[in-house]
Amino acid sequence: MLRVSGRVEPNYRKSALRELDVAVEKLTEIGDGKIVFHSTEAWRLVYEQLLRDPSVLVYRSVALVRNTSYWQDGAGLQSMQLNFNLIARSVVTIERTVIVTNELWPPDDELPMETLRQWIHEQSVNGVYIRLVRKSDLLDEPELLRDIGIYGFTATGTQEFDESDRRTSKFTLNFDLDSVRAAEANWNKLNVYATTYAEILDRFSLGE
């Protein structure tokens, strides 16, 4: 700050003040327990660290799926494989509630469309406890329509996508306990509407 104040060139000072405002905003976020990643997949490194943390025994995830490429790019598949490896080694229990649009799970169909169903089924056979719910069933509960992970009692992670719904535009890690409690409350509320994948498979088998 002393070095900045020692420079008198007006355009420099204006630019410096703008940058300092950004820096203060960033430091305030960090002080509030938030780490924010913009337009980058670097958040996955912290995601992996949290899943490997001995204090995180249960990871709860809400996947808001709008297209069949959701978490099926290289980075997403690598993260899914990590999920499977940690479950196999009994490091963490993983529960995932998948919110699916009507386009991917038509109201008259017992199961989501094939490409999405394969992604869901692979998780189920690898030990992820899966629940499903249609997005249309949650229209009166907009606060539940979020892509979020709950890492034990340690943190929450909220993922936002760009206009294509395929790339991460923002990922926010929040280490505030109140955030975890609020996310847990929403998780419990969401699963009032959801049905386990195993139950859906049983109904589908009986229908056949």
Cα 146 to Cα 186: distance, rounded to the nearest angstrom? 10
Q: Cβ distance 47 to 79 under 8 Å?
A: yes
Cα dihedral sign, 171-58-32-190: positive
Q: What is the pTM of this model?
A: 0.87
First to last CA, the chain: 72
Residue 168 pLDDT class (50, 70, 90 cuts): confident
pLDDT at position 165 is 63
* Amino acid, res. 31: G
Residue 86 pLDDT class (50, 70, 90 cuts): very high
Per-residue pLDDT reduced to its tens digit, 2-23: 888 888 888 988 898 898 898 8
Cα dihedral sign, 98-102-105-107: positive
